[in-house]
Structure 1
């Protein structure tokens, strides 16, 4: 199992990860370290453990907000999907009505054409 070195709050940690996930783990550690550094800048030196816990809670808060937004978007997709299905059903119904009326109009025109053919004088040649 591959190992990578990451740095959090100025300290290096060796961490194992799955093959091919090395860069991903390094990126996650860098992102977490950014949270730690921002908190350290905002609250000052408060101790490594407390700082790490606060950064962890901040990250989980971001995750919870992202999950809330995803849930809202999933609900929006569901509403839009249902609306799309309703519109599609209405279009299908209208197409059926249009086809029936077009067929009716064609029959009427054929009837008119037949009457005209019967009423028209036959040219003699």
Structure 2
């Protein structure tokens, strides 16, 4: 199992990860480091633990917001899909009704034509 070394808030951490996940874990660690630096810039030296907890809460808030937006998008997609299916069914019904109407019209024309031909 590969191991990497990351630096978060000036501290070095050795971490194990799955094969091929090294770059991803380094990116995540850099993001956490950036959040802590951002908080430190806003609040100053309020303690490592507090900064870490605040960074975790920020990341969790972003995760929840992303999940909420994903659920909204999924609901809209499902509604659009259902609407599209209903529209297709309606179009099929309209085509069938048109075909029946066309057949009835053709039959009427044939009857009129037969009457005219018989009356001549």
Q: TM-score, normalised by structure 1?
A: 0.86
Query: How big is the shift at 1:116?
Result: 4.6
Equivalent-residue separation in structure 2 for 1:77 and 1:14 (angstroms): 42
- 1:118, CA displacement in angstroms? 4.4
Compare 80-89 and 13-22 and name the one that shifted more: 80-89
2:33 matched residue in structure 1? 33
Query: Could you tell me which residue of structure 2 aligns to residue 99 of structure 1?
Result: 99
Q: How many Å apart are 1:109 and its aligned residue?
A: 2.7
Gaps of 5+ in 1: 121-125
| Cα shift readout 1:7-45 (whole Å, capped 9, x = no counterpart) | 111112111000011111111111111111110111011
Q: Distance between the aligned counterparts of 1:35 and 1:81, measured in 2?
A: 39
Partner of 1:85: 85
1:9 match: 9
TM-score by length of 2: 0.89
- The higher radius of gyration belongs to 1
1:115 Cα deviation (Å)?
4.0
Match of 1:46 in 2: 46
Shift of 1:102: 1.2
Looking at structure 2, the residues matched to 80 and 43 of structure 1 have their Cα atoms a distance apart, in angstroms, of 45
Residue range with higher mean Cα deviation, 1-10 or 80-89: 80-89
5+ unaligned residues in a row in structure 2: which ranges? none
Deviation at 1:107? 1.9
